[in-house]
Amino acid sequence: MGEDILKGLKDRDPRGIARAISLVEENDPLTDRILSSLDDSLVDSALVLGITGPPGAGKSTLTDRIISRYRSQGRRVGVVAIDPTSPISGGAILGDRIRMMGHALDKDVIVRSMATRGRLGGLCAAAGAAVRIFAGSGCSVVIIETVGVGQSEMDIVRLADITVLVLAPGLGDDIQAMKAGLLEVADIVAVNKSDLEGAETLAMDIETIARGSTGDVEHPAKVCMTVASEGKGLDDLLQAIETVEAAHRKSGERRMRRDRAYDLEVLDWAVEMMKPSIIKRIESTDHDRKGDPRLLASKLLEQE
């Protein structure tokens, strides 16, 4: 089976790619061969684009439009869709991916959903591996799309070279509280549904917050106005992505982010590898299950 999987990756077969990602997620013995067989030059040259933001902002519609634009350029696209629901019940996996069904028959658009809840294994490790497999199989653009803005999603989006934060007017007062934290990871902010009342005000607020909170006054997050449902503003958004990517390559920022993303993968794999032995030790230790569990955790780690 191993040779078939490797051949599928070499031939850029969508089914082979999907199977390879599944095996890596399951930490199959073939994992090392799969990841070491990838073409490093393809992985290095691919654009890894993170798209995040609160529910209701129109991320999936915008992602669908971005995919269409890249496909019109002849580029192969992989999508790692991070979903906060259970992989058993399905939930938002179907609802939020239905907007991408226009690409279902396109063998050069491959979508992979990964759930944050109800799954075993480290999500950063699984998502990072999927990104590398997509890139090593000829996807010159790999999109990481998160549904929600929890800590898991924020960790995942840090695997990206460039992050696009999607916001929309009228989503509630909680947006004001979230924006500063979200802007810390954003290179570009897309004010989607910009035909709605309040869009211009939101854009001005974002620019003000970005200059004061990102720590990079000279290069604050770029703001683009889009109406994804109508395809408006896509040219400006893609141009902004291209501009930021070129600047990051020139400054070394891209290399630094890639190194950090690699370290996140290593950390996640290390934690996953340590879990079984730690669980066994916890269960076999005679202790009073009261008080601060951190104290027992510290004692267990000190015994290493």
The confidence score (pLDDT) of residue 49 equals 97
In a domain, 48, yes or no: yes
CATH number at residue 217: 3.40.50.300
Q: Which domain holds residue 124?
A: 39-255
pLDDT digits 0-9 by tens, 164-187 = 989 999 876 555 545 556 777 789
Q: How many helices (H) and strands (E) does the chain have?
A: 13, 7
Question: How far from 276 is each of 96, 120, 273, 281, CA to CA, in Å?
Answer: 34, 12, 7, 9
Whether residue 280 is contained in a domain is answered as no
Q: Stretch 204-210: mean pLDDT, rounded?
A: 81
The whole-number pLDDT of residue 71 equals 96
Return d(Cα 239, Cα 233) in angstroms, integer. Answer: 10
In a domain, 3, yes or no: no
Look at residue 25 and tell me if it is in a domain: no
Task: Decide which of 117 and 246 is more confident.
Answer: 246
For 239-260, what is the mean pLDDT?
95
Residue 106 within any structural domain of the chain: yes
pLDDT score, position 94: 45
Question: What distance in Å separates the CA atoms of residue 241 and residue 170, rounded to the nearest whole number?
Answer: 26
**Residue 297 counted as domain residue:** no
Percent of the chain topping pLDDT 90: 43
**Cα distance between residue 140 and residue 242, in whole Å:** 13
Cα 39 to Cα 10: distance, rounded to the nearest angstrom? 9
pLDDT at 101: 60
Please state, for a pLDDT cut of 70, what percent of the chain lies above it: 82
In a domain, 301, yes or no: no
Please indicate, yes or no, if residue 56 is contained in any of the structural domains: yes
178 versus 135: which is more confidently predicted?
Answer: 135
Position with higher pLDDT, 217 vs 175: 175
Please tell me the total count of domains within the chain. 1
pLDDT at 266 over 60: yes
pLDDT tens column, 96-125 = 455 566 677 788 999 998 877 555 557 788
Q: What distance in Å separates the CA atoms of residue 128 and residue 105, rounded to the nearest whole number?
A: 25
258 confidence band (pLDDT: 50, 70, 90):
very high
Asked if 62 and 190 touch (Cβ cutoff 8 Å), the reply is yes
The DSSP element (H or E) to which 143 belongs, if any, is strand 141-146
pLDDT tens per residue, range 59-84: 889 999 999 999 999 999 999 988 76
Query: What span, in angstroms and rounded, lies between the C-alpha atoms of 251 and 247?
Result: 6
